[in-house]
C-alpha cells in the first residue's frame, strides 16, 4: 500500500474538525472530494471481505475495502486527535469567537459551493429536500442536552451515535457528544490516554460506522441528487450552531464542578457585547474570511487534481 500524503492531510483536517463541537469531519470529506470514496470504502467492510480474510486471500480483501485509503485517512484523523486535542480545547476557551467564525466561514462557503454544483440537477420534489435537511440540523443545533452515564456502556453508545454524525456533512459528532454530556469525558480520555475508555468508545464508533455507511451508500446510489440536496440543507441548518455569538439558555454542572452550556441560541454581536463581553468583530471577520478562502483553495486544488487524473 502506497502512502498518499494528500489523503493523510485530508484525514488530519477531518480529525481536527471532529474535535470541535459544531463541525463535522464529513463536511471536510465532502469539500475535499473524498466523500463518495469514503462511504464506498467503509460500506465494503462486510461479510464477503471477512470471508476473504478467513480464506487467506488477504490481498483481495484489502483491495475490496480500499484499505490503503482508509488506513491513511484514519492515520491522519488519529494524528490530529492526539496532537491537537489539548490545543483545540485551549483555543475553544481562549479564542472561541474567532475559532467559531473560521468554521462558520468554512461551512458557509461549502454550502454555497455544493448548492451551486447541484443547481442544475434539482427539480420537482427535490426542492423540498434541502428544507428538510436544514430543519433537521437546526432542530439538533437548538436542542437541549440529555446526559448519558459516563460508564463503559455510555461511552460505547456515545461512540455509536456520534460516529453517524461524523460522516454526515453538517452534523457534528462532537456536538452530539456535547449534547449527550460525553464531550468532556471523551476529550479527557484522549488527553489522559485512558486506553480502556478509548477502546470501548472506538468499538462503538466502528459498529455504528459500518452500519450507517451502508445506509448512506444505498441512498447515494439510488437517490444521489436528493441525498446531496438534503445534505446541503443540513450544512445550511448547521450554521445556527456555528454562529459565533450565542446566548446560553441552559447549562449543567459537569463532573469537574464547572458550568457547561448545553443549549444556546444565536444572537447579534451587539447584543453579545451588551450581555456577555467583547464580540471581537475584527478578528472574527478575518477568521471567517480565512475559512471561506480555505474552501475556495480546496475546490481549486480538487479541480486541478481531477484534471490531472484524466
State the cell numbers at 136.
433537521
- Predicted confidence at residue 87, as pLDDT, reads 82
- Predicted confidence at residue 262, as pLDDT, reads 57
For the chain, residues with pLDDT lower than 70 are 1, 21-23, 125, 143-147, 170, 172, 175, 179, 250-263, 302-310
Using CA atoms, how far apart are residues 232 and 112, in angstroms rounded to an integer?
9
- Predicted confidence at residue 56, as pLDDT, reads 86
- Predicted confidence at residue 98, as pLDDT, reads 92
- Predicted confidence at residue 201, as pLDDT, reads 93
pTM of the model: 0.72
- Predicted confidence at residue 237, as pLDDT, reads 85
Strand partners, 266: 246
- Predicted confidence at residue 254, as pLDDT, reads 52
Q: Are 137 and 237 in contact (CB under 8 A)?
A: yes
- Predicted confidence at residue 147, as pLDDT, reads 66
Strand partners, 246: 266
Amino acid at each position: 500500500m502506497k502512502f498518499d500524503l494528500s489523503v493523510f492531510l485530508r484525514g488530519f483536517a477531518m480529525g481536527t474538525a471532529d474535535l470541535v463541537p459544531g463541525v463535522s469531519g464529513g463536511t471536510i470529506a465532502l469539500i475535499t472530494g473524498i466523500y463518495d470514496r469514503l462511504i464506498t470504502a467503509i460500506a465494503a467492510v462486510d461479510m464477503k471481505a471477512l470471508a476473504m480474510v478467513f480464506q487467506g486471500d488477504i490481498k483481495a480483501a484489502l483491495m475490496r475495502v480500499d484499505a490503503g485509503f482508509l488506513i491513511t485517512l484514519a492515520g491522519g484523523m488519529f494524528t490530529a486527535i492526539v496532537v491537537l486535542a489539548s490545543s483545540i480545547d485551549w483555543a475553544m476557551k481562549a479564542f472561541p469567537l474567532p475559532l467559531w467564525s473560521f468554521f462558520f466561514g468554512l461551512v458557509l462557503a461549502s454550502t454555497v459551493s455544493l448548492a451551486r454544483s447541484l443547481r442544475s440537477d434539482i427539480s420537482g420534489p427535490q426542492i423540498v429536500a434541502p428544507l428538510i435537511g436544514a430543519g433537521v440540523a437546526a432542530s439538533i443545533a437548538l436542542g437541549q442536552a440529555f446526559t448519558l452515564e459516563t460508564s463503559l456502556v455510555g461511552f460505547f453508545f456515545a461512540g455509536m451515535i456520534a460516529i453517524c454524525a461524523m460522516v454526515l456533512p453538517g452534523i457534528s459528532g462532537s456536538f452530539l457528544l456535547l449534547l449527550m454530556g460525553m464531550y468532556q469525558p471523551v476529550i479527557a480520555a484522549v488527553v489522559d490516554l485512558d486506553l480502556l475508555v478509548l477502546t470501548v468508545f472506538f468499538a462503538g464508533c466502528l459498529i455504528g460506522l459500518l452500519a450507517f455507511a451502508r445506509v448512506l451508500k444505498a441512498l447515494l446510489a439510488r437517490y444521489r441528487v436528493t441525498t446531496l440536496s438534503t445534505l446541503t440543507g443540513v450544512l445550511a441548518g448547521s450554521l445556527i450552531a456555528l454562529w459565533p455569538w450565542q446566548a446560553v439558555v441552559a447549562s449543567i454542572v459537569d463532573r469537574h464542578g464547572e458550568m457547561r452550556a448545553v443549549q444556546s441560541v444565536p444572537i447579534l454581536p451587539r447584543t453579545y457585547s451588551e450581555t456577555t463581553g467583547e464580540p471581537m468583530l475584527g478578528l472574527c471577520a478575518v477568521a471567517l474570511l480565512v475559512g471561506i478562502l480555505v474552501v475556495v483553495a480546496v475546490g481549486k486544488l480538487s479541480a486541478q487534481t481531477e484534471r490531472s487524473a484524466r
